[in-house]
Structure 1
Amino acid sequence: MDRRNSHTSGGEGGGVPGGTVLAAGCVLWRRAPRDGRLEIALVHRPRYDDWSHPKGKLKRGEDALHCAIREVVEETGMGCAPGAALPTLHYVAKGRPKVVHYWAAEAIDDEPFVPNPEVDRLIWLPPAEARLRLTYDHDRTLVDALLEALRPLS
C-alpha cells in the first residue's frame, strides 16, 4: 500500500500541535481548449501574495489523497481525476516542518473560477510559463515531475 494514501493528521488537523504540518495537493492539468497543448493551473493566494499549486492541510482523520482532491475543489471550483503520485515536498513554513503529498490530477469539470478568501486568481499556463510564475523553487520541481508522469500519455 502506498503510505501516501494512509497518512492521517493528528492533533487538531493538519499535523501534531507544534509538530509536523501534514498537507496535500495536486498539480492540476488540462489540455487547452483551443490547441490541445498541456496547461497547468496555478492559484494565487492573496494572504501570502504567492503563486502555487492547489494544496492544504489535512483534516483530522483525512487521508492525503482525499485532502488533495478536496483542496482542488475548494481552491479552484473544479473536479479532478487524480493520477500518478508526485514527489512529496518537505520544507519549513512558519517555523514548523511541513510535509506535502502531491498527485498529478486532470481537471474534469472546467467550471468558471470564482474568487474566494483563500484564492483570488487562477491561471492556466503552459509548463514553461508555469515554472516562471511559481513563487517557490520546490513547486517548480513538481512541474517536471508532472511532465515525467504524463510522458507515456503523450
Structure 2
Amino acid sequence: MTTSKKKLVSSVVLLAAVILLAATAAAEGADDYGECRVGKKIPYNPLPGCREYITRWCAVRNDPKKQLVPDEVKRRCCGEVSELPKGCRCDALGILANGVITEEGVKVGRMEAVPGCDRETIAFLASDLMEIRHCYIGYSCPLFGGGMD
C-alpha cells in the first residue's frame, strides 16, 4: 500500500472514531436530559426515605438533648439517592425540596415546612444531602430555588 493510501485509511479511521465518540456522548447526554423526569427515571414520590431523614433532622437539629437521627433512616435515604442514575440525583432532590408539575399536570414532591425547619431550610438540607456529612456520593448539588406555588 502506498503512503498516500495509508494516510487516507488512517484519516478515515480517525474520522470514524471521532464521529462515533461524538454520537455516543450526544446520545448519553440526550438520554439523561430527557429521562430525568418524574415518571421516567425519577419516581412520582421521590426519595421518601430522604423526606423522613430531613423531617427527623429538623426535629432534633436545634435541641442538643434530643437524639440524632437513627443511622437506618440516613442509610435508607442515601440508598435511595444512590439508586438513581447519577445525572438525575440532583433533579430528584430538587423535586423533593421544591416539587414539580409533571407533563400530566400532577403536582409531586415539595416538602412543606415541618417543626424546626422552614421551606428555605428544607431546600438547603435537600441540596446538602450529597455532602460528606450526609450521603456523600462524590459530588454536590447546587442550592435549589423556586419550585411550585
**TM-score (ref. length: structure 2):** 0.26
Higher helix share: 2
* Greater percentage in strand: 1
Larger Rg: 2
Structure-1-length-normalised TM-score: 0.26
- Which structure has more RCO (C-alpha within 8 Å, separation ≥ 6)? 1
